[in-house]
Structure 1
């Protein structure tokens, strides 16, 4: 199956798009099957009650955990559902019993930094180059010389489409005996995340095209031994694994069912094929938009991601609103709150999925040229 054929198959599985959707880095488009599965579960809750319906959906949810495990390199028993990626990080940090220090990128996601601060975690920056990419050898030296409690990596940021050396850092952490926690919110379903990390957390709504309000957290049993969840309290008479204690039962089960279907669809397409197609889409986007007057593409053309950010003198929030109102094109405006220690100038982010077409890119390039003139 060619990249174009994969894109056609992905598009055919979804309702027709209204305009041009270049915003999968924020929230992708769900398939009809995922939508129907969530709706059917909600209907079943009305028929038999929410808890009975949840019991009936156990096999579907188990399949969802197994699919996530395949993408993260864990086992199905290691995977729990959360509310969001941020919620997953909070579960890890609130339960962590080791040293309260975390090594992370200079360009760490702003809300992650807020969660770390809320849990009294000392943040130590790892060295990066001018593009914000981790300098692996220098980082290894820093980590060996001043060992943190945890190493935290966001392989693909919210504000920049630079792919970090996740597999290589995982190897460094194994050699040093340091636990690695991965924020895969932008990476799961986009980059290869099955690298042996101790914990991986992500959201449903981005590249896996699930519903909003669902996340996942995968933790290795060896890492779980250093976690002590605050709720529910440990009770020897009612033994539960750490994973079971981390997964809150009072949640939107219908959304979890929809996500389980969505991640199953991703596996059916072939994760490697999707990754290759997304890399090609990113390259195609940067080549097309790199010549638009008034804009500068931030990422290298051949960066293997589908996220492209653009700089321009105008306020990207105003440009985003103009693109939606005047051209029906959905993008994201990113300001310094996304990466307060790295993003000094706001950018417009384009994040198309595998269904991007040349016609859509041509239309978007013309719209951006018009937006630059009107700014």
Structure 2
């Protein structure tokens, strides 16, 4: 059985064509059943007793996060999602409130930075929006920020950022680096980056439940007060169990195998979409991610296209408004993000529907 076949067999059948893993991938039977079993156990013995019983599964989940980030000694905390993790990190920060990030930083991240009083500075980028490694060292050393934040793979773009190289530059200058891996975790190789903190969500490429995320930090980064607050916060243990099972399945399938397949999926998707009249594929065909963004023809409303694809064709994609990257995007787009189980027929269905919907 191929990886794609195994992935498909481990999940309920999709109701249509699911090309939206960057928003919310499809959970598998094992994760769904594990979360349901824990919820039933809570009803039988009480939530706190059930949480104690679930400790080995949760510890395995934390261990899996350490393995997938290459942070063997990291403290790993479950969160409610990526925004929650960044909010905790910045609220806890006691130094100067100046943070360097990409021009195409995720809009909600910028809002969190602003809410905590951070001044943002742009990291240098090239014409594709990728970090300019030739210029970043000088930019950081000439006027050092207090923190550096890198979104490794954007919500609005399939361009992969050179996280390891930035981490090396930050390390040489003694600057803490936070990596947003919401789109990178269980999608790209996140091991050995060398960041001080990496955070992600459950619901995207790792195909866990919604409302769960994870934060891995080096020891000593978070204050004791924040660590205690996390430890005593109200949580959905059932969701944590589901997430832990999902990332365990990811490791069992082979992260390198999944990464390779997703690179192929990205290239296959861009080749298929390159011939749809009027639509422009933003990424290079060989960009090593499975996220493809499409700029619509002039006069075509991407939000209306997304809705039409769902209602009339049973195809799930994402509308990308400019608010996702307000300092970089000038036009809305459509995002296509299939997982390892996508078929050539799925992509042909999409290209035919796009041509039908836009009639260019």
| TM-score of the two chains, using structure 2 as the length reference | 0.97
In the alignment, is residue 259 of structure 1 matched against residue 257 of structure 2? no
**Pick aligned residue for 1:212 from 210, 225, 231:** 210
C-alpha distance in 1 between matches for 2:136 and 2:330: 23
1:247: how far off? 4.0
Q: Determine if contact 2:74/2:217 at 8 Å carries over to the other structure.
A: no
1:272: how far off? 1.1
Q: Determine if contact 2:74/2:219 at 8 Å carries over to the other structure.
A: no
C-alpha distance in 2 between matches for 1:341 and 1:154: 14
For 1:221, the equivalent position in structure 2 comes to 219
In the alignment, is residue 135 of structure 1 matched against residue 132 of structure 2? yes
For 1:365, the equivalent position in structure 2 comes to 351
In the alignment, is residue 278 of structure 1 matched against residue 262 of structure 2? yes
For 2:149, the equivalent position in structure 1 comes to 152
C-alpha distance in 1 between matches for 2:273 and 2:151: 26
Compared CA separation, residues 248 and 196, structure 1 to 2 (3 A): farther
Structure 1: unaligned runs, 5 residues or longer: 232-241
C-alpha distance in 2 between matches for 1:211 and 1:140: 39
Q: Determine if contact 1:105/1:153 at 8 Å carries over to the other structure.
A: yes
C-alpha distance in 2 between matches for 1:220 and 1:106: 26
For 1:41, the equivalent position in structure 2 comes to 38
In the alignment, is residue 85 of structure 1 matched against residue 69 of structure 2? no
C-alpha distance in 2 between matches for 1:187 and 1:371: 31
| TM-score of the two chains, using structure 1 as the length reference | 0.93
Deviation per CA, 1:24-79, whole angstroms, max 9, x where unpaired?
00000000000000000001111111111111100000000000111112236510
1:228: how far off? 2.7
For 2:332, the equivalent position in structure 1 comes to 346
Q: Determine if contact 1:62/1:76 at 8 Å carries over to the other structure.
A: no
C-alpha distance in 2 between matches for 1:196 and 1:77: 11
3-state secondary structure, aligned to 2:71: coil
Compared CA separation, residues 126 and 183, structure 1 to 2 (3 A): same
Q: Determine if contact 2:73/2:218 at 8 Å carries over to the other structure.
A: no
For 1:239, the equivalent position in structure 2 comes to none
